[in-house]
Amino acid sequence: MRVHLCAVGRLRSGPERALISDYVTRFDRTGRALGLGPFSEQEVEDRKGGGMEAEAALLSRAVPSGALTVVMDERGRTLSSPEFADQLARWRDAGRQDVAFVIGGADGLAPSLRASADFALSFGAMVWPHMLVRVMLAEQLYRAASILAGSPYHRA
């Protein structure tokens, strides 16, 4: 199952990019034998200042056709790391070819995009900067692959 990150904004080089690159490399290496990956990233920018709805249109176009769409939203479901790993495995085992994780911009996601998603995932009730959400998602994807592979990385 290919994993896509569709996000508003361009992430330049720096500590967040370095962390994401590290976790994505680990995820691709660990997930390959499990039928997870590869990971790809599509970044969009609303250069015309159209707000959340314009961002939603750009994000919708970035999601591969037929992909299961997961929006990252504080109103979504909170899962433990093992529950997240199990959810990824269920989607994979159900024959999903693609899953797209969608991260909005500074104002969040348009209600229309949230409503059309297959799943809403939350990293808790707190609001996180969208650049940190990317890092946290990359780490959780690697952790999920590690859990499914029986690796000792996850020690909870």
Distances (CA, A) of 151 to 1, 38, 68, 132, 146: 20, 19, 27, 25, 5
Dist CA 130 CA 127 (whole Å): 9
Residue 40, pLDDT > 90, answer yes
Q: What is the pTM of this model?
A: 0.95
Q: Which CATH number fits domain 2-149: 1.10.3720.10, 3.40.1280.10, 1.20.120.1200, 3.40.50.1220?
A: 3.40.1280.10
Question: Whose CA is closest to 44, among 60, 20, 67?
Answer: 60
Domains of the chain, by residue range, sit at 2-149
The whole-number pLDDT of residue 156 equals 67
- The larger pLDDT score, comparing residue 48 to residue 99, is at 99
Q: pLDDT tens digits for 18-35?
A: 999 999 999 999 999 999
Residue 136, pLDDT > 80, answer yes
Mean pLDDT computed over 98-121: 95
